Amino acid sequence: MSDVEFSATRRLILQGAGAVALIGLGNLPFLTSALAAANDKYPEEAFKQKSDADVIKTLYGKTAEPSDKVKMDAPEIAENGAVVPISVSTTLTDVTSVAFLVSENPNVLIAKYNIPAGTLPNVANRIKMAKTSNVTVLVEAGGKLYSASKEVKVTVGGCGG
C-alpha cells in the first residue's frame, strides 16, 4: 500500500480528529488495508444525532419497519448502566448491517456493525445507558430497514462508565 493511499484512508477515518501523531504505528499496513476493504466510512454525523429518527435518517436515509424477525436480547433491569449486555439475532436474509440505538442517551447511536456476505446477523455487545430508555436495534436486510425495541430500566446511570 502506498503512502498516498495510506494517508487518504487515515483522513477518512480521522476526519475532525485534528492533528494526529503517527508514532509507533508499526502494524498499520494491515489495519489500513482492512479498513479500506471494509469500504465503509465511519458515520461521524450519525453518531452526533440526538433522536432515533435523526439517526435513522442520517445513517440509512429511509424509515424502519418493526419486525418480529428481529430478536433483541436485553435485560429488564440493567445491573449497572455502565455495562449493559445487549445482543441481536435475526432470521432475515441478506443482512448488510445492524445498529444499536438508545433513545435517552446524549448521543443516540451506540454502534453500527457492518455484516459482509458470509457473516451471520448475530451480534452481542456491551453498551452504556445514562438512564432508563428504549433500546432499538436496526437490521438492514435486502435494502430494507427493520427494527425491534425494548425498554431497559436503569437504576445506576452509566454515563460514569
Nearer to another protein, 2 or 27 (CB): 27
- Written as one letter, the residue type at 118 is G
Q: How far is the CB of 4 from another protein (least distance, A)?
A: 18
Element (H, E) at 10: helix 3-13
Rounded to a whole number of angstroms, the minimum distance from the CB of residue 73 to another protein is: 9
Tell the residue number behind the cell numbers 429518527, with chain if given: 53
Smallest separation, CB 101 to another protein (Å)? 9
- The residues binding another protein (CB under 8 A) are 10, 13-14, 17, 20-22, 25, 27-28, 30-31, 34-35, 37-38, 40, 42-43, 47, 75-80, 82-85, 87, 102, 105-107, 109-116, 118-120, 122-128, 130, 155-156, 158-161
- Cell, residue 53: 429518527
Strands 77-78 and 144-154: parallel
3-state secondary structure 52-95: HHHHHHHHHCCCCEECCCEEEECCCEECCCCCEEEEEEECCCCE
**Closer of 64 and 135 to another protein (Cβ):** 135
Name the minimum Å distance from CB 45 to another protein.
11
- Residue 92 or 130: which CB sits closer to another protein? 130
Q: What is the Cα 34 distance to its own chain's centre?
A: 18
Specify the residue, 82 or 92, whose C-beta has the smaller distance to another protein.
Answer: 82
